[in-house]
Structure formats: structure tokens, C-alpha cells
Amino acid sequence: CMCVFFPTPLNTLIQITVLAGLCKTRPTDLVFIVDSSRSVRPSEFEQVKVFLTNVINGLNVGPNATRVGVVNYASRVKNEVSMKTHRTKIALVKAVSKIEPLSTGTMTGSAIQFALNVAFSEAEGARAKSPDVSKVAIIVTDGRPQDNVKDVAQRARDAGIEIFSIGVGRVDMTTLRQMASEPLDDHVDYVESYSVIEKLTKKFQEAFCVSDLCATGDHDCQQVCISTPGSYKCACKDGFTLNNDGRTCSAPCGNAAIDAVFVIDGSKSVRPENFELVKKWINQIIDKLEVSEKNAHVGLVQYSSTVKTEFPLGQYNNKKALKEAVKKMDYMERGTMTGLALHHTADNVFNIAQGARPGVQKVAIVFTDGRSQDYIGDAAKKAKNLGLEMYAVGVGNALESELKQIASEPIGDHYFYTADFKAMSEIAKKLQINKCEDPCECDSLVKFQKKVEDALQALNKKYILYESMSKRIALLENKIV
């Protein structure tokens, strides 16, 4: 009675919430810092203005919602739109449409300093520093600055301004990274030309979106989710207690035991940097388990052209030791023999001699990023026939048909695919391993399973003894005759 729920990817959820009207933008002071140097042709500058307009149209604009300013720069800096001047979308969009390129040099550092000193000042309509109001700057540039940006960008970030940097064409990528806030993956964007800058519109609409996370299901509460402004908190049903993690709930009678094994693709197509993401993903799921001698035991298998048990079930009985062992796993970097790994898992890993416990729910979570180089059908069928509950997670070039072959019934609940390794963390946030609705009921079920297994073993021993005695009697009868 284990349940694993795989989520809709986060960006899809946000797009759905925007369409459903569940999304609103939190109070934000937003300043666009736009490069209009001579390298930006007039037609390209028009495309930048279309981008600004589209982002603005996705915001809740108003004195108590989002206030918007626009700084235009080249060799000099011009405050085109002040936050105190235009308080409606219509007025903002009209003001943006009238901005003209300055068509001289590229003084990006001066523009950031101007934004810090002027555009984000209370005199120009910005609000006083508060945890309830975000300060955001979006810089759009297509060249190498003619002044220093590193120090002034650091001062802006230290002042509480979150900086996104967008580079176009032959932009200097080092400069983009020096300006942007951490994490850089979320705050640095590059497009090949101004003609495709509009494709970033959706990203920034999502970045400013604050949805009802309970309503969208984008939370990790085990039982009850309570909405708060821009966030949520977890609670439990009557009779259950909220655990120290603030997410999961427990009942007085405790949790049922489970043997869970991760079967991880370590082939060369995964690549070292993504393999590190996979290890973090495993540890995110481990964080959700009640790891102890009596409850959850975890094993780890890695495969490529060969298969290796990194550690067996029950070797580590606390989360800290278990997660450290996962971090130390070395990347194999060869082929993709998924069928061989499934055979090994069924035959060797879920084996009493290797730490598997009788009468305990057994689960395998298989991760792969590509097509198997061997046949998986027989191995997957064998694992399921042995009573293993199989979950399949695919990334990148993984085949949906193979994932479905691996997954237990109902298939829709037992496999998940995403194109991007970075989305795996979202899977882990939603992956709930719940033994039963009622842990007491689950304990009773496990005890019953154990009794049945013990009875079957006793009957089997009696049958073997009876068969042995029958053979001995037959031999004696032959001697007498």
C-alpha cells in the first residue's frame, strides 16, 4: 500500500494557473534597464519594446501591486518611465511605445548606478525597503560594456535588488554573469537575436507569478495544505501529528516498514554534471522516508554496461549516513544495460541474504535517460511477478514505451518523464511514499503478511520433511522385498 505521486512540471503548473486566473503578481518595484547603443538597430529596439510590453501585460500593475520604471542607456542614461508617473498598464504601455534609442556607446555600469540611485528611490515612486515588496531589475544588452559593471551590480544586489540579465547576439557572457543574482541559471538568459527575445516573455510572467500553491497542488504537504499569501503551511488530519519537517504527519502507532531500492542509470549520456543532479534527487526522496532499523531501508544500484550494488538494503539506518553514501557514488560512464540491471535487482538486491526483509513492502525506483541496449521486457515482468512495486523515471532520450514496460499497474501512477534534468527536483518534491492512509492499518497488514509468510515457510519445511521420510520408507520397503 505504497503511493508515489509524480507531479506536473512546475512551469506547466504556473502556465495553467495563469490561464485559470489563480496567479497574481506579488507587490514588486520593477525597473527595466535597456541598452539602446548604436549596435542596436531601430527595428531591433522596437522588438525590445514589444518584449517589455508583453511582460507588463502579465503583471498586476498598480500603486499597491507592481510599479514599473524604464531606464534607457547608451553613453548616457535617461529615466524614460518613472514608477511614480504611470500607475496603469495602458499608461505604461503607451509610455514604452514612445521610447526612442539613444544610439551611442554602452555604459552599462552607469545605467545600473543610475537605477540604484534614482530609479529605485522613493522620490521616483519606489517603496521603502520591506520584506513584503520585491525589488527587481531586468537588464537587456547586446554588447560589451565600456565601463565596470561588477562592483556596481554587487552594490545593487546588496541593496536588495534582484537582477536578471538578458544577453542578445554577440554579448559578453562574463558581464551577464557578473551582473546577475544567484542562482545564475535562473537569472542569466541568452537569445541569438532580438527577433526571438519575445520567447522570454513567459519566463518573466512566471517569475513574477504568485499562485495559490494549495489550489494548484504545487506543495509538499502530506495531508492538509493551508494557503498563505504567496506561500502555504502544512497541517494534519485529526489524530495525526505534524512532524519536525513541517510537511509529513505521523500517527501514534508508527509507520510500516518498506524496502526501497534506487536503480540508477550511470551511462555516458547522463554526463557528470547531470549525474550530480541525480544524486541530489535521490537524497531529496530519502528526506521523505522514515529511515530507521524498523521502518524504511534503502539500497542503491548503479548500472551502465555492467551493474553494481553501491550499497545493500539495511546497510545504513539513518538519513545522514545514507545521504553521504549516495554523495560518494562514482559515475560509471559507459553503456545502458537496463535489462541487466533489472535482473540484478530482482535476483540479488531484494534477497534476504542481501538485507531484504520478509513481509515488507518492496519498491524499486528505476531512473534512466536513454534507450536500453538490451531487452527489458522479461526482467521487468519477473520483478513485478516477484511482488516488487516498480516506478520508472525517464529523462531526456528515455523511451516512454520502455518506462511503461518497467512500471507497475496502474501504469499512469508508476512512471514519469521529463526532458530536463533540472526538473527532477520538482519530481522529488512531489514524490510521496505513503504506506497507507492509516499507519496503524498498515502495521497490521505487514504483521499479517509476516504471519502468512511464516506459515508458508513452516508448511514448506513440513512438506520437505514428509517427502524425505517418504523416500526413506520406500528404500526400506525395497530392501525388505
User: Are 162 and 239 in the same domain?
Assistant: no
Range of the domain at 63: 28-208
Side-chain half-sphere exposure of 135, counting CA atoms within 13 A = 20
Confirm whether 54 is domain-assigned: yes
Q: How far apart are CA 47 and CA 41, in angstroms?
A: 10
Residues 247-258 pLDDT 10s: 887 754 444 688
The CATH number of whichever domain residue 237 belongs to comes to 2.10.25.10
Average pLDDT of the chain, as a whole number: 82
User: Are 230 and 292 in the same domain?
Assistant: no
At 2, is the pLDDT very low, low, confident or very high (cuts 50, 70, 90)?
A: very low
User: Are 138 and 227 in the same domain?
Assistant: no
Whether residue 199 has pLDDT greater than 50: yes
User: Are 103 and 228 in the same domain?
Assistant: no
Domain finish residue from 208, 237, 271: 208
pLDDT at position 7, please? 37
Confirm whether 288 is domain-assigned: yes
Residues 427-464 pLDDT 10s: 555 555 544 444 444 444 444 444 445 554 554 554 45
Asked if residues 346 and 388 have their Cβ atoms less than 8 Å apart, the reply is yes
Asked if residues 366 and 338 have their Cβ atoms less than 8 Å apart, the reply is yes
At 425, is the pLDDT very low, low, confident or very high (cuts 50, 70, 90)?
A: low
Domain count, the chain: 3
At 241, is the pLDDT very low, low, confident or very high (cuts 50, 70, 90)?
A: confident
Whether residue 325 has pLDDT greater than 80: yes
The CATH number of whichever domain residue 364 belongs to comes to 3.40.50.410
- Across the range 197-212, mean pLDDT stands at 76
- Identify the residue whose cell numbers are 492509516: 438
Confirm whether 447 is domain-assigned: no
Confirm whether 166 is domain-assigned: yes
User: Are 244 and 285 in the same domain?
Assistant: no
Domain finish residue from 430, 450, 470: 430
Whether residue 477 has pLDDT greater than 60: no
User: Are 121 and 227 in the same domain?
Assistant: no
Confirm whether 9 is domain-assigned: no
User: Are 100 and 194 in the same domain?
Assistant: yes
What kind and span of H or E run contains 250? strand 249-250
For the chain, give the number of residues: 481
Asked if residues 17 and 216 have their Cβ atoms less than 8 Å apart, the reply is yes
How large a percentage of the chain has pLDDT more than 70?
78
Which of 1-10, 105-114, 218-227, 451-460 is predicted least confidently?
1-10
Confirm whether 395 is domain-assigned: yes
User: Are 288 and 322 in the same domain?
Assistant: yes
User: Are 39 and 164 in the same domain?
Assistant: yes
Q: Which residue has the higher pLDDT, 210 or 330?
A: 330
- Across the range 258-262, mean pLDDT stands at 93
Confirm whether 133 is domain-assigned: yes
User: Are 310 and 275 in the same domain?
Assistant: yes
User: Are 41 and 127 in the same domain?
Assistant: yes
Q: CA Rg, the chain, in Å?
A: 30
pLDDT at position 4, please? 36
Burial grade of 246 (CB within 10 A; 0-12, 13-18, 19 or more): exposed
Q: Which of 357, 257, 364 is nearest to 309 (CA)?
A: 364
Domain finish residue from 208, 237, 266: 208
- Across the range 292-316, mean pLDDT stands at 94
Q: Which of 356, 325, 330 is nearest to 261 (CA)?
A: 356
Confirm whether 18 is domain-assigned: no
- Across the range 139-163, mean pLDDT stands at 94
- Across the range 267-271, mean pLDDT stands at 90
User: Are 126 and 237 in the same domain?
Assistant: no
At 405, is the pLDDT very low, low, confident or very high (cuts 50, 70, 90)?
A: very high
At 95, is the pLDDT very low, low, confident or very high (cuts 50, 70, 90)?
A: very high
In this structure, are strands 23-25 and 209-211 parallel, antiparallel, or unpaired? antiparallel
pLDDT at position 223, please? 85
